[in-house]
Amino acid sequence: MTSENLDRFVKIMMGLAENFPGTRLTGAGIDMRFEALKEFAIDQVSKAATKLIQTHKYNAMPTTADIINAMGGMPGRIDRDNRAEIEAGKVLDHLHCFGSQVTPSFDDPITKHLMGHRWRYRSWASRVKEDDLKWWSRDFVRAYKAHAVAANAGFYLPVNPVVRRVVHSVGERTKFC
């Protein structure tokens, strides 16, 4: 949406609010909603508002996140489960195209970490059997999801071995002799 769509956006929000008694819209609130939804087309917002009115799923004015969900979620964003499957596919594609002779350069930091530390690509690629790839894929997806959750929670340990030893030793008694 652009600033040219602001009048129509306000009408959509006012119409949506009328369906939920007791809703009070403020200028600041409408500005925040407009800012949060500006990457969507005004027609998408209008259709989502109509859909929300038709479904009577909410007892209060739907939040901006509810409107985004009614439009089908965030564009271009891939959830963690699908991202893990995609990244496993990238590793397998590289293996089938180049074998163990060419070390890949992965853009995704979790894939880069897993294929550089948990499975060192060249040694893994030179010894993995075709029959084991379906099990490897399952293990990769599980490890990817675990690393993604840990990274989001702030529990992701640094890769540098010296830093990792220091982090692991925090809280241990140091002996001075």
The predicted model gives 81-87 an average pLDDT of 87
> Do 99 and 138 sit in the same domain of this protein?
yes
Residue 106 sits in the same domain as residue 65: no
Q: What is the 3-state secondary structure (H, E, C) of the chain?
A: CCHHHHHHHHHHHHHHHHCCCCCCCCHHHHHHHHHHHCCCCHHHHHHHHHHHHHHCCCCCCCCHHHHHHHCCCCCCCCCHHHHHHHHHHHHHHHHHHHCCCCCCCCCCHHHHHHHHHHCCHHHHHHHCCHHHHHHHHHHHHHHHHHHHHHHHHCCCCCCCHHHHHHHHHCCCCCCCC
Looking at the fold, whether 64 and 20 belong to one and the same domain comes out as yes
Q: Does residue 163 register a pLDDT over 60?
A: no
Q: Are residues 61 and 19 in the same domain?
A: yes
User: pLDDT tens digits, residue range 2-17?
Assistant: 888 999 999 999 999 9
Query: In the chain, pLDDT over 90 holds for what percent of residues?
Result: 44
CATH of the domain at 18: 1.10.8
Return the higher-pLDDT residue of 47 and 174.
47
Global pTM exceeds 0.75: no
Does 166 map to a domain?
no
Pair 66, 138 in one domain = no
Q: pLDDT tens digits for 101-157?
A: 999 998 888 899 999 989 999 999 999 999 999 999 999 999 998 888 777 666 655
21 pLDDT more than 70: yes
**How many domains is the chain partitioned into structurally?**
2
The whole-number pLDDT of residue 164 equals 54
